[in-house]
Amino acid sequence: MTGLSEFQLKVLALLQEDARTKPELIATMLDVPVTEVNEAIAAMEKDHVIVKYATIVNWSKLHDEQVTALIEVQITPERGRGFDRIAEMIYLHPEVKSLYLMSGAYDLQVEIEGNSLKEVASFVSNKLSTIEAVLSTKTYFILKKYKQDGIIFAEYESDHRMSVSP
C-alpha cells in the first residue's frame, strides 16, 4: 500500500468529520485549487482508501426492534489459506455488519444485525455453526449503544462555552 500525502490526509480528516463537505469548501480551507481536491478524492476512491460515504444512523430513535449481537468465533485455520477463506464464507452473509480477525482467546469477531433474537439465533445455529472449521461460538447481544464510530449517541451537550465572551 502506498502512503498518503499530508494533503490527502487533511482532505480525509475533513471528509471523515462530514462526508458531505463540498470539494469547494475543502479547497478553501486547505488553500488549494478545487481540482487538486477532486483529484485527491478520486485517487483515494480508486485505491479504496475511501470505501463508501455512509450515514451513521441512531436506529434506537426509530423504536424498532432491531437486534445487534457480537459473536466470538473460534475456528481451525486452513492449511495454506489461514483464516481468510473461512472469513469470506462468513462476511458474504448480508446480516454480517462487520468481521474482525482478533488476537487473544478467540479468532473472529462477527457483528450481526437481525430483526429479532430468533433471527440472530437462527443465523448462528444454521449458518455460522454449520461451517466445518467453526469450533465454537459465543453470542453477546448489545443492549444499548452509547457511542459508535466516534459519535456519542446519548443526548450530549459538547459545547459548554458562553455564547459571547471577551
Partner 1 sequence: MIREASLQLSEAVQQKSMNSYLNESVRDIKPSGIRRFFDLVSTRKDVITLGVGEPDFVTPWHVREAAVMSLERGKTQYTSNAGLIELREAISNYLYSNFDVGYEPDKEILVTVGGSEAIDLALRALISPGDEILIPEPCYISYSPITVLSGGVSVGIETYAKDNFKLTADSLLKAITPKSKVLILCYPSNPTGGIMTYEDWEPIAKIVEEKDLIVISDEIYAELTYGTKHVSFATLPGMKDRTILVSGFAKAFAMTGWRLGYACGHPDFISAMLKIHQYTVMCAPSMSQYAALEALTNGLEEKDKMIDSYNQRRRLVVKGFREIGLECHEPQGAFYAFPSIASTGLTSEEFAARLLEEAGVAAVPGNVFGLGGEGHLRCSYATSVSALTEAIDRIGNFVNKLKQS
Total binding residues for partner 1 by CB under 8 A?
18
Residue in 64, 65, 73, 55 with CA at minimum distance from that of residue 148: 55
**Contact assessment for residue 62 and residue 79, using Cβ atoms and an 8 Å cutoff:** no
Give the nearer residue to partner 1 in terms of CB position, either 144 or 160: 160
- One DSSP character per residue, 83-107 reads THHHHHHHHTSTTEEEEEE-SSS-S
Please state, in angstroms and rounded to a whole number, the distance separating the CA atoms of residues 44 and 50: 6
Does 34 interact with partner 1 (rule: CB under 8 A)?
Answer: no
Give least dist CB 156 to partner 1, A. Answer: 13
**Contact assessment for residue 69 and residue 140, using Cβ atoms and an 8 Å cutoff:** yes
Give least dist CB 21 to partner 1, A. Answer: 7
Does 163 interact with partner 1 (rule: CB under 8 A)?
Answer: yes
Segment interacting with partner 1 (CB under 8 A) among 28-36, 59-67, 77-85, 121-129: 28-36
Does 29 interact with partner 1 (rule: CB under 8 A)?
Answer: yes
Contacts to partner 1 by CB under 8 A: 10, 14, 17-18, 21, 25, 28-31, 158-159, 161-166
